[in-house]
Structure 1
Amino acid sequence: MANSIAELIFIPAPGVGHIMSTIEIAKLLVTRDQQISITVLVIIPPPTFGSGSGSPITTYTQSLAKNTMDRISFIELPQDKTPPVSKAPIAAFADYINSHCKYVRKIVADKMSQPDPGSGRVAGLVVDMFCTGMIDVANEFNVPTYVFFTSNAAFLGFKLYIQTLSDDKNQDVLELSNSDSMIPVPSFIKPVPTKLFPGICQTREGLEFLLGSARKQREAKAIIVNTFLELEKHAIDSLSEDSTIPMVYPVGPILNLEAGAGKKLGNDDIITWLDTQPPSSVVFLCFGSMGSFDEVQVKEIANGLERSGHRFLWSLRRPPSDQTTRSPSDYEDPGTVLPEGFQERTAGIGKVTGWVPQVAVLSHGAVGGFVSHCGWNSLLESLWFGVPSAAWPIYAEQQINAFEMVVELGLGVEIKLDYKNEFSNPETDKVVVTADEIESGIRRLMEDKKVRKEVKEMREKSRVAMAEGGSSYASVGRLIVDFKRNVLGHTEL
C-alpha cells in the first residue's frame, strides 16, 4: 500500500453478489488512480444465510482474507457468535452486520493513528447498502461515508420516496403496500403498482428496516450506484434534481466478467453442449443464488419449456431442506422432481443441470434468452451480453427491477411480474405460475424482435459507458477527485 495518498475502507454486505460487485469496483478504482489504496473488511455470513463450513460463500469470503491484490487488501472480521434476536430475517441480518461495528471502529482507529504517511490517509468508508449502520462509526472519526448501492437508481429513488411518504407526508406505507393501487414515484416514468412493492414493505418490522436504511443513506456524502446513465437516465436525473438526496455517482455496469472463461470452471459439459447449439437458439433459465421452486412449480416449468419447443439450459436447484440455511443445493438426480419422461423427450434440445457459471453461459453465442429472477447483477450481465430477459422475480426488490426492465424500458418480457416467493417466509401463500404462462413468456422472449433489437442497442451503450470518455468512466473520475479531495483539500488537486 506504499505511496498511496488516499486509503478507502470498503465494507460489503456478506452476500456473494454484494462482495463480488464491491471487489470489482475496488479493482476499477485502484486501476484508474495509482494514489488510491483499498482495504476490504470481510464479514463472514451468518449460518442462516447458508454460510456453514464448506459452503460456497464461506469458502469464497475466507479465501479473500488470504489474498492481496495490487493496493487492495482484505481483513476478515471476527464472527459475532451472539445468537440473533428473533426478528424478521432482513432485520436480523442488519443487526448481524451492525454487530461488527466494534471491529470496524478498532480498524479505523488503528489506521487513523498510523504515523507512516506512505500508507495513505483514510479518505472515506465505502459501505454496502445493507451496512449503513457503519456511517455512525465513520462519523466518530470525522471520515465521510459513501454508500455503494448494488441495485439500480430507480429502486434507490423508490426507497427514498417511500421514506418521504412515511416521514414527510404521514402516509401509512404499510397500508399502501398491502393495497392494490398504483402510485407515482419520481424515479419512474410510469406509476408503480403497489403489488410490486418488495415484501419487506408489507410487514411493520420489514418496513421499519427499509425506512431506517433510507434515512441512513441520506446521511452519506454520496451514493455510488451500479448503473449507467444511458440505461436509467430518468431515474438518475430525478435523483440528481432532488436537493435532499446526496450526490449520486452512476459507475456501472460493474461486473465480474472473469467467469466468462467457462471451461476453467469445471463446467466443460455445459459449455461443450452449448457449442453444439445454433446461435441465439437456447433459453437459459437461472434464478440466482437463493432461487428455487417446489416440485409442483418445477413440473409447470418443465411442461412450459417442452410445449414452447425451444432449446433450453435449465439451472434447477433444490429448495433448502430446513430453516437452518436459506441456500438451495443441487439435486443428485433432477429426474425425481421432473415430469416422467421429460428428460428423455427433450434430450435432443434441452439440458437440465445444477449450479452454472452464469457469466460464461450468458456470454455464449448459443444463448438467445434468459429467464431470470431479475437480481440486478444478473440483469446487468444479460444486457452486457445482449441477451433479452423474461422476468420472473422472486424476492427482495426483484419485482421493482422487473417492472423497470419490462414496463419502463422495454428490455424484457413478462412471465409474472408480481410473483413473490420470499425465501424468508416459506409459510406465505404460494402462487403457481402455470405452464401456459411460462410457454407464452418463453415464446415472446425468443420471438419478440423489438425487445431483441433494444437489448442489442443497450449492449453497445453499456460498453461505451465504461470505456474512456463514456458516462460511467467520467463519473468514476469525478468520484476519485471527491475521494482525494477529502485528504488533500481543494488546493492540491
Structure 2
Amino acid sequence: MTSRPTVVLVPSWGSGHFMSALEAGKRLLATGRGAFTLTVLVMHAPSEAMASEVQGHVRREAASGLDIRFLQLPAVEHPTGCVDPVEFASRYVQLHAPHVKAAIARLGPSSRVAAVVVDLFLTALFDVLHELTVPAYVYFASPAAFLALMLRLPALREDLTGAGFEAMESTVDVPGLPPVPPSYMPACLVKAKIQSYDWFEYHGRRFMEARGVIVNTSVELESSILAAIADGQCVPGRPAPALHAIGPVAWFGSTDDQQPHECVRWLDAQPPASVVFLCFGSMGSLDAAQVREVAAGLERSGHRFLWVLRGPPVAGTRLPTDADLDEVLPEGFLEATAGRGLVWPAWAPQREILSHAAVGGFVTHCGWNSILESLWSGVPMIPWPLYGEQHLNAFELVAGVGAAVALEMDRRKGFFVEAAELERAVRSLMGGASEEGRKARRTAAETSAACREAVGEGGSSCAALQRLVREILVSPTEGNDSR
C-alpha cells in the first residue's frame, strides 16, 4: 500500500504568523479530503515567551485529531550584530536551513513530499528546497497590497534619495491601489531601517522563485491588487508567481472555556452596536502620555467602550505586560466612565469580542489578522497603525476597502494621537450623524457577507483552494523553479 504524500509547512514563530499558516494548512487538509497529510516543522522561537506561545498552539492542535504531524527542529545559535527584528529573523532562518533540509530528506522514504510551504520571511530556505527538488510555495499572511509593494521594492529603490520614503514629494505607486502618500509607507521601510528595506527587498525578489504564493486575502477584498500582480505590473518583464487567494484565513470557532470571559460578560449587558473596542495587538502598548490622551478622548466622546490596555514590554522582548490601572490611568477616569466603560489590563479574547453584538466599532493597530477578524464580524474600524506594514494596511482600509474612519496622527511623535482627534473619530464612527461613519458601517456589513461567501462552497477562495490542491497533487515537481 502506497503511503499518502505530505505537504510540509514551515511557519514563522510569531503567534500571528504561526496560527495563520497553521489554519491555512488545515484548510488545505480539509480540501484535500484525505489525499495527503500535513507535516509542520517547528523552529525554536528566539524568546521564552514566544516559545511558550508556540508550544501551546502545537499541543492544542496535536490533540485535535487532525492528520497533522509536528516535528521540532534542533535549536540554533542566535545571530549577532543585527540592527532590527527583520534582519534577525532572516538570518535566524538561514541558520535553520541545514535542519530543514535534513528533516524533509528524512520524510522521503516513508512519505512523498508533495510541496513545502514557507512563511513570507523564510525564503532563505528556497536554496535547500531547490536542492531537494520539491515544489516551494510562500504563505503570505499579510494583504496582497503588501505583497505588491514587496515585489515593487527593487524598482522603487531607484526613486529613493538617501532620506527614504519620508522625503518623497510624490506619491508611491503600489499597483492596484490609489496613489499612496509616502507617510503611509510601512514603518519597517523608513530611512532609519535601511537594513529592513534590504531584507524585505531580498524576500520580495525570492517570491519570484516560488511555484506559487498563497495569500491570506480574497478576490472580493483585493481584486484590483491581485489582478495587478498577476498582470506583471509589479515586476515588469517577468512572469508573476501564481497567486492563490484563499482568505480570509483566521480561526473563527468557539473557545474551550467553560465560562465566558469577563469582557464578554460585560458586553452581554450593553446595547447592540453601542461599544467601541480598543485593542492594539499582541505587541502593542502605549506610553503614559498617550494613555492620558486616549482616556480623555474616550471620556469626552460619551460613547461606551472596552479598552484593552497593556503595560510596557517585558525586558528584552516586544511582548507587553499586564497594566497597573491605578498607576497608568488619569485620576478619576474610572469613576467618571463607570457604567459605560471597561478597561481591561491583560490579554482579552479579541475574536469573541469582535463577534459580540454589542461591539459597533474597533480602534485597531491594523494587524492584518485583526482587520480580517473585524471584517468577518462586520465591525467598522478606526485605524491606528503602529509598526510593520500596518500603515499601508490602514491606507488600504480607508482608501481601498472603505470600512473605516480615518484617524489623524503625528508621525513625528511616534504616531501620537491627540485626545480631540480620537474623540472626533469615535463620534464619527459610533454616532448616527456622520456620513463617513455611516459609509464605514455599511461597507463593513457588506464586506462581512462577501468574506463569508468567498470561503463558502462555490466561493472564490474555496475554488482557489481546490485549484491549489489539484496543482499540488497532480504533478509534485513540474514547475518548480530552481533559479
* TM-score of the aligned structures, taking structure 2 as reference length: 0.91
Q: 1:234 maps to what in 2?
A: 224
SS at match of 2:276: strand
SS at match of 1:158: helix
Paired residues for 1:312-327 under 5 Å: 312-322=305-315, 324-327=316-319
Unaligned runs of 5+ in 1: 421-428
Residue deviations 1:96-116, cap 9 Å, x none?
A: 12211111110111112x1x4
Q: Does the C-alpha gap of structure 1 residues 361 and 282 become closer, same or farther in structure 2, counting only changes over 3 Å?
A: same
Residue deviations 1:81-101, cap 9 Å, x none?
A: 345333322101211122111
User: Which amino acid in structure 2 is aligned with residue 313 of structure 1?
Assistant: L
Alpha-carbon distance in 2 for matches of 1:282, 1:4: 53
Alpha-carbon distance in 1 for matches of 2:417, 2:183: 16
1:408 to 390, 396, 400: 400
Alpha-carbon distance in 2 for matches of 1:137, 1:321: 36
Q: Does the C-alpha gap of structure 1 residues 418 and 32 become closer, same or farther in structure 2, counting only changes over 3 Å?
A: farther
TM-aligned CA deviation for residue 60 of structure 1: 2.2
User: Which amino acid in structure 2 is aligned with residue 264 of structure 1?
Assistant: D
Alpha-carbon distance in 2 for matches of 1:268, 1:454: 29
Alpha-carbon distance in 2 for matches of 1:419, 1:436: 17
1:478 to 467, 476, 482: 467
Confirm or deny: 8 A CA contact 2:7 2:113 kept in the other structure: yes
Q: 2:416 maps to what in 1?
A: 432
Q: Check if 1:198 corresponds to 2:186.
A: yes
Q: 1:249 maps to what in 2?
A: 244
TM-aligned CA deviation for residue 179 of structure 1: 1.1
Pick which of 406-415 and 62-71 moved more: 62-71
Alpha-carbon distance in 1 for matches of 2:293, 2:151: 38
User: Which amino acid in structure 1 is aligned with residue 440 of structure 2?
Assistant: V
Pick which of 465-474 and 174-183 moved more: 174-183
Two-structure CA RMSD over aligned residues (Å): 2.2
Alpha-carbon distance in 2 for matches of 1:90, 1:441: 33
SS at match of 2:83: coil
Q: 2:144 maps to what in 1?
A: 153
User: Which amino acid in structure 2 is aligned with residue 91 of structure 1?
Assistant: E
Q: Does the C-alpha gap of structure 1 residues 239 and 69 become closer, same or farther in structure 2, counting only changes over 3 Å?
A: farther
Alpha-carbon distance in 1 for matches of 2:331, 2:131: 62
Alpha-carbon distance in 1 for matches of 2:170, 2:251: 36
User: Which amino acid in structure 2 is aligned with residue 305 of structure 1?
Assistant: L
Q: 2:434 maps to what in 1?
A: none
TM-aligned CA deviation for residue 62 of structure 1: 5.5
SS at match of 1:25: helix
Alpha-carbon distance in 2 for matches of 1:195, 1:488: 43
Pick which of 334-343 and 78-87 moved more: 78-87
TM-aligned CA deviation for residue 319 of structure 1: 1.3
Q: 2:270 maps to what in 1?
A: 277
Q: 2:334 maps to what in 1?
A: 343
Confirm or deny: 8 A CA contact 1:38 1:73 kept in the other structure: yes
Alpha-carbon distance in 1 for matches of 2:162, 2:185: 10
1:294 to 276, 282, 287: 287
Q: 2:126 maps to what in 1?
A: 135
Confirm or deny: 8 A CA contact 1:165 1:173 kept in the other structure: no
Alpha-carbon distance in 2 for matches of 1:408, 1:62: 36
Residue deviations 1:336-386, cap 9 Å, x none?
A: 110101111111100000210100100100000000000001000100000
User: Which amino acid in structure 1 is aligned with residue 94 of structure 2?
Assistant: N
User: Which amino acid in structure 2 is aligned with residue 345 of structure 1?
Assistant: A
Q: 2:169 maps to what in 1?
A: 181
Q: 2:448 maps to what in 1?
A: 459
TM-aligned CA deviation for residue 418 of structure 1: 7.0
Q: 1:220 maps to what in 2?
A: 210
TM-aligned CA deviation for residue 199 of structure 1: 2.4
Paired residues for 1:114-125 under 5 Å: 114=109, 116=110, 119=111, 121-125=112-116
User: Which amino acid in structure 1 is aligned with residue 195 of structure 2?
Assistant: E
Alpha-carbon distance in 1 for matches of 2:409, 2:35: 45
Confirm or deny: 8 A CA contact 2:244 2:465 kept in the other structure: yes
Alpha-carbon distance in 1 for matches of 2:307, 2:258: 18
Q: Does the C-alpha gap of structure 1 residues 389 and 4 become closer, same or farther in structure 2, counting only changes over 3 Å?
A: farther
SS at match of 2:213: strand
SS at match of 1:192: coil
Unaligned runs of 5+ in 2: 233-237, 432-436
TM-aligned CA deviation for residue 294 of structure 1: 0.6
SS at match of 1:412: coil
Alpha-carbon distance in 1 for matches of 2:258, 2:188: 36
TM-aligned CA deviation for residue 174 of structure 1: 5.3
Alpha-carbon distance in 1 for matches of 2:290, 2:3: 54
Confirm or deny: 8 A CA contact 2:15 2:50 kept in the other structure: no
TM-aligned CA deviation for residue 197 of structure 1: 1.4
Alpha-carbon distance in 1 for matches of 2:266, 2:392: 34
User: Which amino acid in structure 2 is aligned with residue 249 of structure 1?
Assistant: H
User: Which amino acid in structure 1 is aligned with residue 114 of structure 2?
Assistant: A
Residue deviations 1:30-85, cap 9 Å, x none?
A: 111120211011122212x8437xx5x25425636854642211112122134533
Q: Does the C-alpha gap of structure 1 residues 478 and 268 become closer, same or farther in structure 2, counting only changes over 3 Å?
A: same
Alpha-carbon distance in 1 for matches of 2:402, 2:288: 32
Confirm or deny: 8 A CA contact 1:13 1:128 kept in the other structure: yes
TM-aligned CA deviation for residue 172 of structure 1: 3.1
Pick which of 228-237 and 81-90 moved more: 81-90
Q: 1:87 maps to what in 2?
A: 83
SS at match of 2:366: coil
Q: Percent identity?
A: 39
SS at match of 1:146: strand
TM-aligned CA deviation for residue 463 of structure 1: 0.5
Q: 2:153 maps to what in 1?
A: 162
* TM-score of the aligned structures, taking structure 1 as reference length: 0.89
Alpha-carbon distance in 1 for matches of 2:73, 2:477: 29
TM-aligned CA deviation for residue 394 of structure 1: 0.2
TM-aligned CA deviation for residue 184 of structure 1: 4.5
Q: Does the C-alpha gap of structure 1 residues 27 and 62 become closer, same or farther in structure 2, counting only changes over 3 Å?
A: closer
Alpha-carbon distance in 2 for matches of 1:245, 1:67: 39
TM-aligned CA deviation for residue 186 of structure 1: 4.3
